[in-house]
Every structure is written in C-alpha cells, then in structure tokens.
Amino acid sequence: MPSARPAFFRRPRPGRNMPMTLRRYLPHYLMIAPFMVLFAAFFLYPILSGLYYSFHDWNGVKTPEFVGLDNYQTILASRDFSRAMTNLLWYIAITVPLGILVALGLALLVDSFTGRWANFFRNAYFLPVVLPAFLAATIWRWIYAPNFGLLNMILGWFGVPSINFMNDTDTMLYALIVVDVWVSAGFNMVILLAGLKNIPGELYEAARLDGASKWQQIIHITIPMLGPVLFFVFTYGFISAMQVFDKPWLLTGSSFTSYGGRRNALLFPVMDMMGRGFGGVKFGEAAAYGFLLTIAIIAVTALMFTMRAWRERK
C-alpha cells in the first residue's frame, strides 16, 4: 500500500552518513531556510555591521578606524542628545497614554453604533492613518498657521491673540502631540474595537441586571477584558513613539542641514541620528546612536513584559 505522505516528508531511515536528528528535521530546516536567509541578510547582518561601525570612525567610504567607545561618549555628552531625549520623554509621557485614551473613547463610541453609522465612523476615524505623512503635515501647518490659520481663527472669535504654534517653543511639542494622536488614534481604535467585539455580551447583561452603570461597566468589565489588547496597543505605541521621526521632521520643515525646529524644540533621537549620518557624514556616530536607542527600546519593552508577567502571576 502506498504511503499517504509524500516522499519528501517520509521519515528518513537511519544508517546513512548524516546524523539522524539532522536528517529527520532537514525538510523543516529547508522550509524555514528562505526566511532565515532573508532575515540574516536584511536584519541580522545590518545589525551586526551597525554594531561594528558604532565602535569606528567611519564616513561610509573610508576604511573604518577603531575608536572604542568614543562615538558613544560623544553622543552621550552632546547637547543635542540631551535635548532629543528630554523631548522624547515628554512626548512619550503624554502621547502614548493620551493616544490610547482617545482611541479607547473612539472605539467605545463606534462600538455603540451599528450598521452603516458604525462603518462610517470607523472609516472616518481611520482615514488619518492612511493619509500620507507629508499631506497630514501640510494640513496641520495650515491649521496651526499664525494669524489666519484655522485654529487661530477659531481662537480669535474668543478674543485669544494669535499663537505661533509651530514656532513658539512653549507650544511646539503639544502641537506635535495633537497631530500624532490624530494620526494614531484610528489605528489603535480599530485594534481596540476588535477587542471590544470579543467581550461576551453576557458580562454586560449580568452587570446591568446587578444595576451597574455604564461607567462601572467600562471600569469593571471593558478595561479588564481588554487587558491584553491594551497591553499590545500600549507597547506598540511606546515603540513607535520612541522612533518618532516623520511628523516632527515635516512639521518643522527639516532637512539634513537644519532640523528640529526652533531651539530644537522638536528634535528627537531618530532625527538627530539621521542628521549625524547623512548631514554630517558620521555613520559611526549614527550607528552608535541607533544602538543606544535600540537598547533603550529593548530595556523598557522588557520591563513592560516583566511587569505584565508579574501581575499575571499575582
């Protein structure tokens, strides 16, 4: 009787030269090989070569010259790095929780609708996500324009004098956060909405029978049941925020020779790294910058996973 499995998957017979385990799993290795080759070529190799260059003075062409930890020291001692990290900390501290709160609010709102209205609001809130970044920045530069911009026009009706949102160092960060929340809320909303749809209706029904208010239902059912989804949204939002680049770059009209806006109020690590690489042609320094940022992202993400595991064990 012929075997039900194709010849390729048949268990190899012992007694050949190849070690048995290897022969047994060779087809599996072959199947994951294409991914591993691409992963090694386009992910592992760039990371390892970046690590190598981070210890070298290198402009992209000349023979790399070993400088030990000099690149790391230069970055850590630079004023731009401190400014970029300070901006980043404030940005993350506000934009991540605010973005999730807005997304959760929108998800609850959309979830309360059914039929075409639910579709309409879901699509409307998701629209900024698919908008090209440069278009979003152009729209917001118009909205934020001093004197005659939409926002200043509205504020003017209430007697508020014109605010130069994108050039006043007191307002620039908040102006960016508003744009960021506007763009990211739709994406997070869709994920949270999927989580909301998975919460069994009986839980709400039982809560209502017990006399729970809408607010109590959200606090005691919705948020706990959304825990894993909220954790994903929070982690994803945090990692994205750490790498913020395009929105502040475009809003401040940055280029490789001048970036970060007035007094570097919107200077962030990835912008600084790009400027050092392509503007200053210091790729060793840029690589070291990238590693410092990667280490920070890995450390905080690991901390978040550890805390979550610890809470689940409790």
Partner 1 sequence: MKRINRIRAGIAGAAALLGSAGAAAAQDVTLEYWVYSDFAQGEALALQQEFIKEFTDAHPGVKINITGKGDDDLTAGQVAGAASGNLPDVFMNAQSVGAQLVEVRALANIYDKWMAMPQEFRDQFDKDALASCMPRPGELYCIPYTGFGSLLFRNLTVLEQAGIDPSTPPATWDEWFAQMQKVKDAGLYAIPDETLVFNSIAEIYATSGSSETWGFNWDDRTTRIDPAIMTKVLQKFVDMAPLTSGTSRNDQATKDLFISNQLAFHTVGPWVNPTYDEAAKTSGLKYDFVLIPGDEPGKTGGIRSYEIVGVAPGPNMDIAFEFATYITEKQQMVRWAKLLSRYNANAAAMADPEVSQLPLIKVSVDAAHGAMEVAAPYFIDSVPSCYNSTVIDYAAATADGEFTPEEGAQELIAELNSCLAQ
Q: Which residues bind partner 1 (CB under 8 A)?
A: 59-61, 80, 138, 141-142, 145-149, 162, 164, 167, 253, 255-260, 262-264, 275-281, 283
Distance in Å, CB of 144 to partner 1, minimum: 9
Which residue, 137 or 241, is less far from partner 1 as judged by CB? Answer: 137
Q: Which is nearer to partner 1, 186 or 277 (CB)?
A: 277
The 3-state secondary structure of the chain, one letter per residue: CCCCCCHHHCCCCCCCCCCHHHHHHHHHHHHHHHHHHHHHHHHHHHHHHHHHHCCEECCCCCCCEECCCHHHHHHHHCHHHHHHHHHHHHHHHHHHHHHHHHHHHHHHHHHCCCHHHHHHHHHHHHHHHHCCHHHHHHHHHHHHCCCCCHHHHHHHHCCCCCCCCCCCCCCHHHHHHHHHHHHHHHHHHHHHHHHHHCCCHHHHHHHHHCCCCHHHHHHHHHHHHCHHHHHHHHHHHHHHHHCCCHHHHHHCCCECCECCCHHHCCCCHHHHHHHHHHHCCCHHHHHHHHHHHHHHHHHHHHHHHHHHHHHHHC
Q: Which is nearer to partner 1, 263 or 311 (CB)?
A: 263
Least distance CB 285 / partner 1 (angstroms)? 11
Between residues 122 and 276, which has the closer beta carbon with respect to partner 1? Answer: 276
Smallest gap from residue 287 Cβ to partner 1 (A): 12
Residue 49 vs 306, nearer CB to partner 1: 49
Closest separation in Å from C-beta 288 to partner 1: 16
Q: How far is the CB of 226 from partner 1 (least distance, A)?
A: 41
Of 85 and 110, which has the nearer Cβ to partner 1?
85
CB of 94 to partner 1, least distance (A): 24
